Chains A and B, each alone.
Chain A
C-alpha cells in the first residue's frame, strides 16, 4: 500500500512535443505529490508539487494533473526541449504524519532536436 507506481520507464520525445509521465498510488492517506527532476551526475531537485485539494497545477511548461478518485497523477511537459532531458521521479507523502517521501522508480526522458 506504500508503493508509488511510475510509467513509462523511458520516454523519447521530439523537440516541441508533449512529454507525459504517469504515477499511481494506493494509500489514500497520501496528501502531497511532488515531482523531482534529476540530471546526470546530480541529485534530484524539486520541480513541482501538488496537494489533493486541486486537480491541476501549472508552472511554466510543467503541469501536474491529479485524479483523486483514480489515485493517479501525471506530469505534462509542454513544448519539450533538449534541456528537459533528465530522469523524473514522482513521489508521495502523508504530511500529517511524516515528512518522508515514497518515490516512484523514475522515468528517463530524452528530447531530441
Chain B
C-alpha cells in the first residue's frame, strides 16, 4: 500500500517561477488537504477538498491554487513563487479521521 504519495520530494525554484506539487492517494478517501510546515508554526492548512470537484481555502491560501483532478489526486500550484513560500509541504487524505500524510515536498525558493 502506497498510501499518500507526493512528488517531487525536493525542489529548488527561483523567485517568480511556477510549479505544481503533486499528491495522489490510493485509499479511496474523500477528503484531501494541503499543509505547509514551518519551524515554530506547526502545520497550517493551505487548501482543503471535501470531495472530487470541491475545494475550500484554509488558513494560508494566498499565493496558491489547487485542483482536485479526481478522487485520487489533489495538486497544489505556485503561480509565481516567493521566498516566503520556502517550506515543507504536506498532502494528507482522510475518510473523515484520522488524516494520513505523505512524506512531504521540501521546497526552497531563492
Contact = CB atoms under 8 A, between A and B. Distances in A.
Interface stretch (B41-49, B61-69, B70-78): B41-49
Given A46-B98, A89-B43, 20 more contacts: A42-B104, A43-B90, A43-B92, A43-B101, A43-B102, A44-B90, A45-B100, A46-B99, A93-B97, A95-B97, A99-B50, A99-B94, A99-B97, A100-B33, A100-B45, A100-B48, A100-B58, A103-B44, A105-B40, A106-B42
Contact of A44 (B31, B48, B58, B101): B101
Interface of A: 6, 9, 32, 34, 41-46, 49, 89, 93, 95, 99-101, 103-106
B103 to A, nearest CB: 5
A29 B48 CA distance: 20
A49 B99 CA distance: 12
Contacts of B48: 100
A32 B97 contact: yes
Contact of B103 (A9, A42, A89, A101): A42
Given A89-B42, A99-B31, A104-B42, A43 B98 contact: no
A57 to B, nearest CB: 14
A48 to B, nearest CB: 10
Contacts of B33: 100
Interface string B77-103: 000000000000010101011111111
B97 A103 contact: no
List 10 tightest A-B contacts by C-beta distance, closest first: A43-B101, A46-B98, A105-B42, A103-B43, A103-B42, A99-B96, A43-B103, A44-B101, A106-B42, A43-B102
A32 B98 CA distance: 10
